[in-house]
Structures are given as structure tokens and as C-alpha cells.
Structure 1
Amino acid sequence: MKHGISRYLLVGAMTLAALNAGLANAAEKIRLAQNLAPISGLVIIAKEKGLFDKHGLDVTVSNFTSGRQALETVLGGGADIATTAEAPITAAALARQKISLLARMVYSDDKTLVSKASGINTPADLKGKRIAYTAGTGGEIYTLTLLKKAGLTRNDVTLVNLRPQDMVSALATNSIDAYNTWEPHIVNGKKALGDKVKEIDTRGVYAETFNLVVPQDYLAKNGKTVAAFLQAVLEAERFLKANRDESIAVIATATGMKKEELAPIWNDYIFDLVLDDLTLNTLKNHAQWRLDSGNAPTGATIPDFNDIIFAAPLKQVAPERVKIKGL
């Protein structure tokens, strides 16, 4: 009988130890809010290729059509990490919200699609036209920068605030003459409207960055988890650069595009998980634009971006990727 009791006790102890080990090794849960577009390609690859799982992370993804929506979801407590452009980041910084920019993932030019019937062939031809853009995003900065380079002001055009996914139908129904946004909404417009539309040359006007952002209190409590997340994204970058065709296929499928639609614009995306001067200068220039244009809270000043850019997690996994002096 004593031996039977001892056996049961031993089995019980082993079961408890196994349960404890399982709990200790349980995947860390992270809620990712992402703009479902190729510009979020690195986290899409990390999710689809199991790289988050490899690093002990259980990542639940919520998809949005803009980085602004993604960051707002994080700030509202609905997610932990956002993929977002510089526009929502500077808006949050000027409003003194406690955010942490972990790294830039990619940058890519915004573009302009126009109706051929509008007679728009160059940016200068936008005068007097109805132009759609998305307020509070990099698309707004692109629009105003484009007008300035063309010698125009917002008073020379009619600006229409639309979600990116609503722009194609607005152009199709002649509610607007042109729209300014990021991919894949330009290629979607070309696919839907065919020879009724064309893209005008605006290369170099504005390159939108896309970044990883978390609340500061989340980072303070989950430093190891964030570092593991970045390690997975870094491996996704390596996979993407070594496997072009497969990466195009994975991202096209995830974003609802066809491979033959994404392939021609693939080189428009410069994928690099990094903190560098481009990241910092883009934030500074964007914040200054907000102040100059009145798109900032009353009394706001240029923030100290050293209080917003948190380099420690990226330094932990890839110190050579932190290229901003003083971080």
C-alpha cells in the first residue's frame, strides 16, 4: 500500500511539474494592429511563415486600412503593437501621448491616380481639381507637399477627405478627379478602372515611413516580449530579401492582391528594420509641418524625439541597426 501511495504521489508530482513547465513555456500573447497593405510586409511575413511562433509569441492580428486606425486602436487599449506611418506618430507625440517607436520597417513613395477625362498630366494640372486624400495620415502631408512643389496651395484645389478604400469608387463615379494615397490603393484603382485612369509622375515628392509603435507602459512591462517580436521581424526581413518571389506571393495573398499586381511595384518598398537618420528626420519634418500648418494642439512645440524613440529592444537583437547618434 505504501508503495502504491508513493507511486501516486510521484505521478502527481511529475504531472504538476509538467504543467508548470508548460505554463513557463507558454507563448506570450501579443495583439498586433496592422495596416493590411504591402507596407506591413515584414510583420505579414513573420506571421505567415511562423516566425512569431518560433520566438515563443502568440500574435493575434487585427487589420485596418490605415496606420492611424492601427495606432488609435493601440492607444485605446485594443492592441499592443501598431504598424503605422509618421503622421499618426507625430500627432500622438504632439498630444503628449506616451508612445514608444521601436523601429522603422519600410518606406515607400505615396502616389497620385487621376481620371484621364480630367486632363491632369502633371502636378500643376491639379489646379481647380477635386483631390481625395486621407486626413491625419502621410497622405495628407504628401498632398500638401505635392501642391507646394507644383506652385499651388490648398485653396487652388478642392480637397476631399476619404478612406483609401473609398477612393476608387469616388473616382469611378466622377465625384473626384484624382486621389493621393499609398499602395495597394493605386494599383487597385488601375485594376478596377483600367484605361479610364493613369498615374502621374510624382516620384520623390514624399516617402512615407512605416514603423512599429507600442505604448510606453507596455514596453516597460514587456521588454523581453518586445525584443522577441523584433527578432522575429528581423528574421522576416532576411527571409523577404532572400526569397523575393515567395515573399511577393505571401504578401499578395494576405492583402488580397494578385502576385502579378504586386510584383511590378515590389521595388517601391524599401524594407529595413532600422532606427536611422531618415526615421528621425522624417519625424522632425513632419512635426514641424504640423506646427506650421496648425495641425497640432494649442501650445504644442517640437517634441524631443529621444523621449519617443526607444532603441533598447532593437539594440538587444541587432545593435548595428541603431544608427541614430546618442541612442
Structure 2
Amino acid sequence: MKGFFKKAAALLMAGLMAGSMAAVPAFAEEAEDAAPEKVELNVAYMPNYASLWSVLTGMDKGYFEEEGIEIKLWEFADGPSEIAAMEGGSIDLAYIGHGAHKLCIKGQAEIFAPSSVHSTDRVIVLPSSDVTSTDDLANLKGKKVAYTAGSSSETALNGALAVAGLTIDDIDAYEMDATNMVAAMASGSVDACFAWNPYSNQILENNEDAVELEFATNSVNLSSWICLPSYAEENQDILLRFSRALYKAMEFSSQPENWEYAVGLYAKQCAKDVDACMVETNDATWFSADDIRTGLEDGTISDYYQRQQQMFIDSGDVEEEVPLENYVMFDLMKEALAE
């Protein structure tokens, strides 16, 4: 009888041990799912609302933290500079405005998330330009006009010239970065310029005679989130996690009732006045996650990028058509939005 009890106890103990051992991997697997591998990302931005509205929301709301992502933000003046920094190895991901998309088309970077879109451009003019309305854009002929090459500034310039029936050879074009544009307009060294926020606001604040004019060109000016092709190939999981967090943030801060919240984060990041920053919410249509999800299904997003590419072909910035799939990561967008 004693032998029987010893055997029964041994069997019971073995069963308990087996059950415990079986439970360990299951528990470990659950823990792994709950806590993704932590990663630190160096993210490039420009000091404007368009660049920061979603990423700052994601950071403040803890969406990136939920994905195990810690973000370090680095300020740049324009998209081409950001891409150069990525190529140099100091930046992982970046936000770009419209102009730098031509570098994506040329294979220097890949787009993994859209951010916003607008279909008008703006020019800031001084009285010396003889331009008082969009009907007078032809008066830019022979005038000194500042722009930043490779950016949305150059795209806007090309759009204005097309509207006016002019070419780049008809104006006295001055290529400079946006910070120098502020000084050039303040001193009257140039007659007009094509800038973007926050530099546009600085120019208007520094010169009471400056006027900003908005004109339609049937263009599609997109902003997007990008990485290098090599980074996309090696870090699909990180891009997926970043995108999931980003889309949560976009869903929240794309809503007009939440703009004040997003502007507050932007103003704090860039040490600016909140009221002055609020005007930038009118710069574009801010995509929600649902906008992108629906746009991917009905072809709106791909149409935006196709029309954008055609603009660059028409302007001579891109030589020939490139399949969108070569540089726009539609599959990753769909996967991030499906979860």
C-alpha cells in the first residue's frame, strides 16, 4: 500500500512539473506579445505644424511607447537635408514636404505613410514686385525671386510661373535656404519669395508691406513619412510599429476639435506662440487613419502619388514615369491600418 502511495505521489508531482513547464513558454509568449522589443529612433522634422502634428501627438499620448519605440527628434530646414542625413546614418525616419518626393521617385528614399495634402500654393510679394493679386503674377517677369531648390518652394515657384505663362528664365531667380529668405525679404534684396511655415509667418511678421497670395494650380502637394530603401528592407517590423502608432495619432489630431491640443504640442516643441501657430492648421488637409484606409481601398491615395509624380515629370524634375510600388509602401500601409 505504501508503494502505491509513493507511486501516486510521484506521478502527481511529475504531472504538476510537466504542467508548470508547459505553462512557462505560453506565459513567455504572452509577455513577448505584450512588450515589443524596445527601439530608439532618430526622427527628422521641420519646425512647422505640418511636420509635427502627428508625431508629437503619438509621443504625448504614449502611442509610440506602446509599440516599444522611443523617439528622438532632430530639426532640419528641408527634406533634401533630411534625406542626406539619413544617407549619412544619423537619421532613421523623416517627414518630408512635397518637393522632396522627387528624390523618392528617383530611388533615394521610400514612402511608408502619407501625412497631408493640399492643392494650392502661395507666394509672398513685396510692393517692388508689382504683384497685387494672383492675376498679376506675370509681373514677376524680370523681378528678383527667392526659392529653395528641391523643396516645396521650388514646386510652388514652378506652379506660379505656369499660371503666369512664364519660365524660370523670365525671372531673376535666387536659390537660397528658407532662413536666408526671411532676411532677404526683410531687407528688400528680393521682390518675392516662395517659402513655407514657419518661415512664411516670420516674413509676414517682419515686413508689414509683404502680402501672401494663394493660387490654384490643380496640383497635388503631398507630405509623407519616409526612410531609406535599405532601412525599409531591413526594418519592416519597426516601420509597422511606428506606422501603427502614427495612425493612432493622426486619427486623433486630424479632427478639428483636437487641433488646439496638437498646436499646443507643436508650439512647445518649437518655442513659439500658440495663437501664431494656429494659423498653420489651414495649410493642408490632415489625413486621419480612416482617410488613408479608405483612400487605399478606392485608389485615392495612389492617385495622389501618381498625379504628384506627373507634376515632377511635367516640370522636368523627373525624366520618366516610375511604378509607384517602387517607392510607395502600399502593402505596409494596409497592414498597419488593418490591425
State the match for 1:139 in structure 2.
153
Counterpart position of 2:179: 165
1:144 CA displacement: 1.1
**Compared CA separation, residues 268 and 31, structure 1 to 2 (3 A):** same
* Cα gap change, 1:142 to 1:279, in 2 (>3 Å): farther
2:93 and 2:105 mapped to 1: Cα distance? 16
Spell out the pairing of 1:1-327 with structure 2 (5 A cutoff): 27-40=38-51, 41-94=53-106, 96-97=107-108, 99-108=109-118, 109-122=120-133, 123-193=137-207, 195-203=208-216, 206-240=219-253, 241=255, 242-272=257-287, 273=289, 274=292, 276=296, 277=299, 279-296=301-318, 300-319=319-338
Compared CA separation, residues 308 and 207, structure 1 to 2 (3 A): closer
**TM-score, length-scaled by structure 1:** 0.80
Superposition deviation, residue 301 in structure 1: 2.8
Shifted more, 236-245 versus 270-279: the winner is: 270-279
2:56–2:262: 8 Å Cα contact kept in structure 1?
no
d(CA) in 2 for partners of 1:78 and 1:110? 32
C-alpha distance in 2, partners of 1:318/1:52? Answer: 15
Q: Letter of the 2:68 partner, please give it.
A: G
Summarize deviations over 1:2-24 as a string: whole Å, max 9, x none. xxxxxxxxxxxxxxxx9xx89x7
The offset of 1:161, in angstroms, is 0.7
CA–CA distance in structure 2, aligned partners of residues 93 and 110 of structure 1? 21
SS in structure 1 of the partner of residue 221 of structure 2: strand
**Whole-angstrom CA distance in 2 between matches of 1:58 and 1:89:** 26
* Cα distance change of structure 1 residues 146 and 319 upon mapping to structure 2, 3 Å threshold: farther
The equivalent residue for 1:7 is: none
CA contact (8 A) 2:222 2:308 kept: no
Letter in 1 for 2:285: I
Determine the C-alpha separation between the residues in 2 that align with 1:113 and 1:207: 20
Q: Distance in 2 between matches of 1:153 and 1:39?
A: 29
Identity %, equivalent residues:
22
Q: Where does the alignment leave 5 or more consecutive residues of structure 2 unmatched?
A: 1-27
- After TM superposition, which residue ranges in structure 1, 4 or more long, deviate above 6 angstroms? none
Aligned residue identity for 1:302: E
Distance 1:278 1:124, change over 3 A: farther
- CA distance in 1 between partners of 2:264 and 2:94 (Å): 23
Query: Which position in structure 2 is the counterpart of 1:323?
Result: none
Distance, in Å, in 2 between the alignment partners of 1:111 and 1:124 is 15
- Render the CA deviation track for 1:127-149: whole Å, top value 9, x for unaligned: 22111111011221211111111
RMSD in angstroms over aligned alpha carbons? 2.6
Q: How many residues align?
A: 294
* Structure 1 residues 44 and 208, CA gap change in structure 2 (3 angstroms): farther
Q: Which has the larger radius of gyration?
A: 2
In structure 2, the CA distance between the partners of 1:169 and 1:206, relative to structure 1 (3 Å rule), is farther
Distance in 2 (alpha carbons) for counterparts of 1:230 and 1:70: 19
In the TM superposition, what is the alpha-carbon distance from 1:63 to its structure 2 partner? 1.1
TM-score by length of 2: 0.77
